[in-house]
Structure 1
Amino acid sequence: MGLQVNIIKKLPGFELRVDFKADNDILGFLGASGSGKSMTLSCIAGIVTPDSGKIILNGRVLFDSENKINIPVRERKVGFLFQNYALFPNMTVEQNIGFGLLKSISKVERIDKIKKKILDLQLNGMEKRYPYQLSGGQQQRVALARALVVDPEILLLDEPFSALDEHLRNSMILQLKDDLMGFKGTSIFVTHNMEEAYQLCNNIIIIAGGSIDAIGFKDAIFNSPPTLCAAKLTGCKNISKAKKIESNIIEAIDWGCKITFNYEVEDSIADIGIRAHYLEIMVDDEDVNTFNCWVVFTSETLFRTKVYLKFSEPIGDEKDFDILWDTSKEEWDLVKDKPLPLKIRINPEKVIQINRN
């Protein structure tokens, strides 16, 4: 049956207004800091009370402003994995895991539940350790065990990888994916990292300014972002205002070029974008969508080169560019010494089209 949320929460200078449903799967919340992601989780958990609306979990009403229903946190059957894990420093691993269990259960049942989660999450041998004696990955598994030991109907994960370094983050994403395989309820995973969202989630909600900007299957959201905000949050670095000038031709206003498609484009076109790694280097300009580009400056990462390009010859030392090409160092080495302008193709099949609402 899953989760249904339709709530409004007014805060100073900010209003959260979300309406969505989630099945027994991992739903990703992708948005910038301060967009309302964590506040939504807090409302679902009962930590924060919305001003109005409803929250229903598997047919059970957790919150209903009209009927004055507001189920306490401990009775909501919600597992919450906090951003900083929120482990108690003066408690051992087993004490942290058992903290959320009801006092009414027997001592034997309590011990059995804790032992099972210790085994499930490969924490055996660490039962008597304190949080400071654990690695970041181990702390996360303790926090996840604590969230799961209460047999929740929903699991809320609030940016659980934000405190981890890059290497540990990658391994923990794979670990968490495995850990969640056995969880049969709804999971909501909050992040501002698009790669985390893509790796862990099947469906994604883009949230901006307290409202849902886009929602859908992850491949649809990433391959064809329906809004400008969705395009930016999914990593599109090259975006231009656009207008249709012929049935199959769009003018990219900010780039000062025209892109030809092999089909008629929508009259309502407002913006276009292309991801930086989709730009193509050409040896000639026979293709109608190949343009002369001048290198303004470059920036190197460990394995790739970011090339900042302009569609007209740059004036002086200004670092004003039109478009970014993200390429491998090997490919850049092959062309960096060629005379300018470079011939860059914008593949119309890779162009993101964003229409006015």
Structure 2
Amino acid sequence: MQLLVDIHKQLASYPLEVKFNLEGRVLGILGGSGSGKSMTLRCIAGLETPKRGRIVVNGRVLFDSSKRINLPIRLRRVGIVFQNYALFPHLTVAQNITYGLQDLSSAERQHRLHEQIAKLQLFGLENRYPQQLSGGQQQRVALARALAVEPEILLLDEPFSALDTHLRHHLQEQMIETLSSYQGVTLFVTHNLEEAYEICEQLLVMSQGQAIAYDQKQAIFERPATYTVAQLTGCKNFSKTRAISPTQVEAIDWGCTLNVIEPIPESFAYVGIRAHHLTFTNDPNTENTFSCWLAHTRETPHRMTLYLKLHNPPTQSNDYHMQAEVFKEKWATIKDRPFPWYVKLDSLRLFLMQA
């Protein structure tokens, strides 16, 4: 499966300029609110029209401004699940699922309906109306409706955002199973990093209408090329930096010198490390290891975020250099140790970024 997108559209605050050639199965689109994620999906679906560019799926042209091709929605073979599901309130579950199948025979409509009912575990709900369904059931009906048209492209726009945590996790697992048997291309818009990593193979990162990174998910998380990409993928620890030697950099904001393994690029401005990659050691002589004190903590059900001041004790709670994330079990083993603690910035986990 292949999806080529190269579009330009002027938005109120900035131009939307997105270009990628997807040959995988599931692409996650990450970015902050208003970055252009949903507008990109709407252009692919035919709900919005780019000013110029091309959209091609498996060699079939959906949009080409130079050739004046702009297929209507019903001919694009695109299925879409909106953030609010957008089910028709006056139609039953069965009628919602078969809504886009009016051109098919009655027998084929029934076949596809039963196929989706079975696939998404909607038995017994066929004659209910959307207002009689839970949020999770509505989401599954919306997905069934999108898949019933046998789309070449499946567009998922924040499909889990309205769900509570338990239901969200359950439906994420169900989504992974559903997508494993879907043969088309899936674009999955989310701002949830764990969700994107779990469901998607490749990631497109957007900021102010621009696609600023496009790669395999491992590459983007392990080696973000720019400060903005690192921020949008959840990195919390940054320092302005400069090269000292081919293997050393000065982390100016952290007040330390770091050994690095990756080649130092000619133009770089920051060094970063993810909060869960910081480790604590009892050996102050280990490479890239520095004394630290605890400025304050933040607690979630399973993890602790530790705000650390390097080299000297903090003077107040917001006087810190970096954040470390540890599981509660690890926290229990270190919380009563006398200061200073020693934190290690593994050279394999450091990454150098452009501004």
Do both proteins adopt the same fold according to a TM-score greater than 0.5, normalized to the shorter chain? yes
CA contact (8 A) 2:24 2:202 kept: no
Distance in 1, matches of 2:273 and 2:19, equals: 30
Structure 1 residues without counterparts, runs of 5 or longer: none
Cα distance in structure 1, aligned partners of 2:196 and 2:173: 12
Q: Partner residue of 1:192?
A: 191
Please name the residue that 1:13 is paired with.
13
Change (3 A) 1:70 1:276: same
CA distance in 2, matches of 1:4, 1:284: 52
Residue 310 (structure 1) aligns with: 309
Structure-2 separation of matches of 1:113 and 1:281: 56
How many angstroms does 1:338 deviate by? 2.8
Residue 155 of structure 1 deviates from its aligned partner by: 0.6
2:120 corresponds to which letter in structure 1? L
> For 1:283-321, what per-residue CA distance to the aligned partner results, in whole angstroms no more than 9, with x for missing partners?
231124111112111112112221111124356435121
Aligned-residue sequence identity (percent) comes to: 49
CA distance change for structure 1 residues 232 and 154 in 2, over 3 Å: closer, same or farther? Answer: same
For residues 287 and 7 of structure 2, the distance between their equivalents in structure 1, rounded to whole angstroms, comes to 50
Structure-2 change in CA distance of 1:24 and 1:225 (3 Å) = closer
Gapped regions of structure 2 (runs ≥ 5) = none
Displacement of 1:22 in angstroms is: 1.6
Out of 112-121 and 215-224, give the one that drifted further: 112-121
1:48 corresponds to? 48
Aligned to 1:201: 200
Assess, with a 3 A threshold, how the Cα gap between structure 1 residues 318 and 140 changes in structure 2: closer, same or farther.
Answer: closer
1:215-234 alignment to 2 at 5 Å?
215-234=214-233
* Residues 261, 348 of structure 2: 8 Å contact kept: no
> 1:253/1:95 Cα in 2 relative to 1: closer, same or farther (>3 Å)?
same
Specify the alignment match of 1:2 in structure 2.
Answer: 2
| Cross-structure match for 2:242 | 243
Q: Cα deviation per residue 1:70-102 (whole Å; 9 max; x = unaligned)?
A: 111111111011111111222111011111223
- Distance apart, 1:111 and its partner CA: 2.4
How many angstroms apart in 2 are the aligned matches of 1:354 and 1:24? 27
1:259-298 to 2 correspondences below 5 Å: 259-261=258-260, 265-298=264-297
Superposition pairs of residues 131-142 of structure 1, within 5 angstroms: 131-142=130-141
Relative to structure 1, is the Cα distance of residues 106 and 350 closer, same or farther in structure 2, using a 3 angstrom cutoff?
Answer: same
1:38 aligns with 2:38: yes
Give, in whole Å, the separation in 1 of the partners of 2:285 and 2:40: 52
**Partners in 2 of 1:195 and 1:105 — Cα distance?**
39
Following TM superposition, by how much is the alpha carbon of 1:262 offset from its aligned partner in structure 2, in angstroms? Answer: 5.3
Query: In the superposition, relative to structure 1, how do residues 125 and 247 fare at CA in structure 2: closer, same or farther (>3 Å)?
Result: same
**Counterparts in 2 of 1:158-197, with a 5 A limit?**
158-197=157-196
Q: Distance in 2 between matches of 1:300 and 1:49?
A: 46
CA offsets per residue over residues 120-145 of structure 1, 9 Å max, x none? 22212110111122222221111111
The answer on whether the counterparts of 2:291 and 2:342 sit within 8 Å (CA) in structure 1 is yes
Q: Distance in 1 between matches of 2:4 and 2:264?
A: 36
Deviation at 1:151, TM superposition (A): 1.5
For residue 82 of structure 2, what is the aligned residue in structure 1?
Answer: 82
Instruction: Pick which of 204-213 and 43-52 moved more.
Output: 204-213
- Asked if 2 retains the 8 angstrom alpha-carbon contact of 1:24 and 1:185, the reply is no
TM-score relative to the length of structure 1: 0.94
Contact in 2 for aligned 1:24/1:184 (Cα 8 Å): no
Q: Deviations over 1:229-253 (max 9, x none)?
A: 2212222111111110122111111
SS at match of 2:269: strand
1:42-91 Cα offsets, whole Å, 9 max, x none, are 00000001011111122121111122211111111110111111112221
* Structure 1 residues 14 and 320: CA distance shift in structure 2, 3 A: same
Q: Distance in 2 between matches of 1:150 and 1:202?
A: 24
Q: Compared with structure 1, are the counterparts of its residues 69 and 171 closer, same or farther at alpha carbon in structure 2 (3 Å cutoff)? A: same
Letter in 2 for 1:162: S
- Which has the higher mean CA deviation after the structures are superposed, 310-319 or 138-147? 310-319
**Is residue 292–residue 313 contact of structure 2 (8 Å, CA) maintained in 1?**
no
Q: Residues of 1 paired with 2:54 and 2:333: CA distance? A: 59
Q: TM-score when scaled to structure 2?
A: 0.95
- Answer with 259-268 or 238-247: which moved more: 259-268
Distance 1:315 1:119 in 2: 59
* SS in structure 2 of the partner of residue 330 of structure 1: helix
CA distance in 2, matches of 1:14, 1:267: 30
